[in-house]
Structure 1
Amino acid sequence: MLMRHPAATHRVCMVTQRPPGSPVRLPLATPTDIIAAVPYLLGRHPSHCLVVLGARGAASQVRLAGRCPLPEEATAVPGLVAGLVERLARDRCDQAVLVGYGPPERVAPFAHELGEVAAASGVALREALRVDGGRYWSYLCPEPACCPPEGTRYDVVSSTIPATAVLAGLAPRGGSAVPQALVAPVAGSVRDEMERATRRAEVRRGRMCAEREGAVPVESALLAEGARAVAEAVDDARVGRLPGSCDRVAWLGVLLATVSVRDEAWARIRPPDAAAHVRLWRYVLRRVEPSYTPAPGALLAFAAWQQGDTALADAALDRVDSASPGYPMAVLLRQALQRGVSPRDWPQRGAGRAGEPPPPHGPTAGQRWAGPDWPGHRR
Structure 2
Amino acid sequence: MSFTVNKLTVRSSADLVAAVPYLLGFHPSDGSIVVIASRDRRVVFAARGDLPTPAHLLGEFTAHLVPVVQRQQPITDLILVGYGTPEHLDPALRIVGDALTTAGLKVREMLRVTEARIFSLTCNDPTCCPADGTPFDPTASLVAVQATVAGLVARPDRAAVARCFTAGDSACDSIRGATDSATARMEAVAAIGSAAVFEAGVLAVRDALRQHDNGVRLSDEEVAWLSVLLTDRPVRDLAVDLTQPHDQHITFWAEITRRADTPLVAAPATVLALTAWRSGDGALAVMAAEHALQVDPGYQLAHLVLHALQAGLPPTAIEEAITRTHRTSTRNSDTADEQE
Report the TM-score range of the alignment, normalised by the length of the smaller protein: 0.7 to 0.9
State the shift of 1:295 in Å: 0.8
TM-score, reference length from structure 1: 0.67
CA contact (8 A) 2:36 2:80 kept: yes
Equivalent-residue separation in structure 2 for 1:281 and 1:229 (angstroms): 19
- Over the matched positions of the two proteins, sequence identity in percent amounts to 30
Higher helix proportion (structure 1 or 2): 2
Between Structure 1 and Structure 2, how many residues are aligned?
319
State the shift of 1:135 in Å: 3.9
Equivalent-residue separation in structure 2 for 1:355 and 1:113 (angstroms): 47
- AA at the equivalent of 1:128: M
Q: 2:36 aligns with which of 31, 46, 53?
A: 53
Alignment partner, residue 10 of structure 2: 26
State the shift of 1:131 in Å: 2.4
Alignment partner, residue 329 of structure 1: 301
**Once the two structures are superposed, what CA deviation does each residue of 1:340-359 show, in whole Å capped at 9, x if it has no partner?**
66668875575981689xxx
Is 1:92 aligned to 2:92, yes or no?
no
Alignment partner, residue 254 of structure 1: 228
CA contact (8 A) 2:3 2:43 kept: no
State the shift of 1:297 in Å: 1.0
TM-score, reference length from structure 2: 0.73
State the shift of 1:231 in Å: 1.5
Equivalent-residue separation in structure 2 for 1:76 and 1:258 (angstroms): 38
State the shift of 1:127 in Å: 1.0
SS in 2 for 1:27: coil
State the shift of 1:15 in Å: 1.5
Please, which runs of 5 or more residues in structure 2 have no aligned partner?
Answer: 330-340
CA contact (8 A) 1:194 1:246 kept: yes
Q: 1:127 aligns with which of 109, 114, 126?
A: 109
Alignment partner, residue 264 of structure 1: 238
Q: 1:156 aligns with which of 137, 148, 170?
A: 137
SS in 1 for 2:166: coil
- AA at the equivalent of 1:33: D
Aligned alpha-carbon RMSD (Å): 3.9
SS in 1 for 2:28: coil
Alignment partner, residue 229 of structure 1: 200
CA contact (8 A) 2:22 2:152 kept: yes
State the shift of 1:147 in Å: 5.5
Judged with a 3 Å threshold, the aligned counterparts in structure 2 of structure 1 residues 182 and 206 are, in CA distance, closer, same or farther, namely same
Q: 1:281 aligns with which of 249, 253, 264?
A: 253
Alignment partner, residue 17 of structure 1: 4
State the shift of 1:338 in Å: 5.4
Alignment partner, residue 174 of structure 1: 155
**Once the two structures are superposed, what CA deviation does each residue of 1:220-276 show, in whole Å capped at 9, x if it has no partner?**
x45x344223311232134325684434432332332344432232233333xx455
Judged with a 3 Å threshold, the aligned counterparts in structure 2 of structure 1 residues 279 and 86 are, in CA distance, closer, same or farther, namely closer
Equivalent-residue separation in structure 2 for 1:342 and 1:328 (angstroms): 18
Point out which structure has higher relative CO (alpha carbons under 8 A, 6+ apart).
1
- AA at the equivalent of 1:353: H
Is 1:290 aligned to 2:262, yes or no?
yes
Equivalent-residue separation in structure 1 for 2:98 and 2:200 (angstroms): 53
Equivalent-residue separation in structure 1 for 2:167 and 2:222 (angstroms): 17
Please, which runs of 5 or more residues in structure 1 have no aligned partner?
Answer: 1-13, 213-220, 357-379
State the shift of 1:296 in Å: 0.6
Equivalent-residue separation in structure 2 for 1:304 and 1:27 (angstroms): 28
Alignment partner, residue 38 of structure 1: 20
Equivalent-residue separation in structure 1 for 2:50 and 2:259 (angstroms): 30
- AA at the equivalent of 2:270: A
CA contact (8 A) 2:202 2:235 kept: no
Equivalent-residue separation in structure 1 for 2:142 and 2:310 (angstroms): 24
Judged with a 3 Å threshold, the aligned counterparts in structure 2 of structure 1 residues 179 and 225 are, in CA distance, closer, same or farther, namely farther
CA contact (8 A) 1:71 1:106 kept: no
Alignment partner, residue 240 of structure 1: 211
Is 1:316 aligned to 2:300, yes or no?
no
**Once the two structures are superposed, what CA deviation does each residue of 1:127-180 show, in whole Å capped at 9, x if it has no partner?**
1123243344433345789454xx636323597443652575364323246544
